[in-house]
């Protein structure tokens, strides 16, 4: 059973984005939505799933950046020896 359907404007407000950005994301398949007539609608649970995916991607990106920085530090220390 579907949950509450949200408009692109409501999703944009929750995510701190422009509604056009949310619609573009839906057109690319970045966020799940459904066209009803000419309007995008988003199931609340799909928006929450999108946020969870973005959170996981962010954590991975941070870990990758930390690893690169640690490698750079180690390389600099090796060059100084």
Q: Are 31 and 49 in contact (CB under 8 A)?
A: no
The CATH fold of domain 5-80? Arc Repressor Mutant, subunit A (1.10.10)
Determine the Cα–Cα distance for residues 50 and 67; give it in Å rounded to an integer. 26
Determine the Cα–Cα distance for residues 53 and 24; give it in Å rounded to an integer. 18
35-42 average pLDDT score: 97
The overall average pLDDT reported for the chain is 89
Cα 68 off chain centre by: 22
pLDDT value at 1 more than 50: no
Cβ-in-10-Å burial (0-12, 13-18, 19+) of 17 comes to: middle
pTM over 0.85: no
Q: What percent of the chain has pLDDT over 70?
A: 85
Top-confidence residue, 60 or 51: 51
């Amino acid at each position: 059973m579907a949950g509450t359907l949200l408009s692109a404007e409501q999703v944009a407000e929750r995510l701190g984005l422009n509604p056009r950005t949310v619609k573009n994301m839906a057109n690319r398949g970045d966020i799940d939505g459904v066209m009803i007539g000419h309007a995008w609608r988003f199931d609340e649970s799909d928006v929450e799933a999108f946020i969870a995916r973005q959170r996981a991607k962010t954590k991975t990106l941070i870990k990758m950046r930390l690893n690169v920085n640690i490698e750079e530090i180690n390389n600099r220390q090796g060059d100084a020896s």
